[in-house]
């Protein structure tokens, strides 16, 4: 039976604590990856490798701003997270390997956040971020094969 477009009420309020907690986690992860990819670019002189990492680096900066804007639109409050500490790597390939997992975990987290958002524009923002992270996972998989 067709029930119209509003049959499923959005179960999460604008300031649902679980949603806000996940947005803070997302901002933390974006800031972490932004810092990590900068460190990784500094570990090599190979221009092709730097170009691949740079795509992800720039996107993470964009994503941080998008999550921050989303948080502010939902709460009216400014969100800022502390700069995370990084694991250190002696070999670039190990940092690349952990980045593949990090990107795939980000996709899982952001899909969860997308389910909790009601507005089309907000859901579209998450769709853009999720597809960026999938692209990063592909880029790092390529780099892993290249460095192996």
Binding interface with Fe ion (CB under 5 A): 30, 60, 63, 103, 133, 136
**Minimum distance, C-beta of residue 142 to Fe ion, in the bound complex (Å):** 14
Q: Are 86 and 79 in contact (CB under 8 A)?
A: no
The CA distance from 104 to 138, in Å, is 10
CB nearer to Fe ion: give 63 or 97: 63
Least CB distance from residue 72 to Fe ion, whole Å? 18
Q: Which is nearer to Fe ion, 19 or 66 (CB)?
A: 66
Which is nearer to Fe ion, 14 or 115 (by Cβ)?
115
- The least CB distance from residue 6 to Fe ion, in Å, is 32
Question: Which CB sits closer to Fe ion, 70 or 103?
Answer: 103
Q: Compute the least distance from the CB of residue 97 to Fe ion, in Å.
A: 15
CA dist., res. 146 & res. 148, Å (int): 6
**Smallest distance from Fe ion to CB 106, Å:** 6
Q: Which of 9, 6, 26, 8 is nearest to 114 (CA)?
A: 26
Please say which residue, 19 or 139, places its beta carbon nearer to Fe ion: 139
């Amino acid at each position: 039976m067709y029930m119209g477009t509003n049959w499923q009420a959005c179960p999460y309020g604008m300031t649902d604590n679980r949603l806000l907690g996940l947005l803070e986690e997302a901002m933390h992860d974006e800031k972490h990856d932004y810092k990590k990819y900068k460190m990784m670019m500094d570990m090599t002189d190979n221009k092709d490798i730097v170009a691949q990492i740079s795509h992800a680096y720039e996107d993470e900066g964009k994503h941080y701003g998008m999550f921050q804007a989303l948080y502010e639109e939902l709460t009216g409050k400014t969100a800022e997270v502390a700069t995370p500490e990084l694991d250190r790597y002696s070999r670039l390939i190990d940092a690349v390997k952990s980045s593949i997992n990090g990107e795939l975990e980000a996709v899982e987290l952001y899909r969860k956040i997308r389910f909790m958002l009601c507005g089309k524009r907000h859901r579209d923002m998450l769709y853009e971020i999720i597809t960026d992270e999938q692209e990063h996972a592909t880029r790092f998989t390529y780099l892993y094969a290249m460095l192996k």
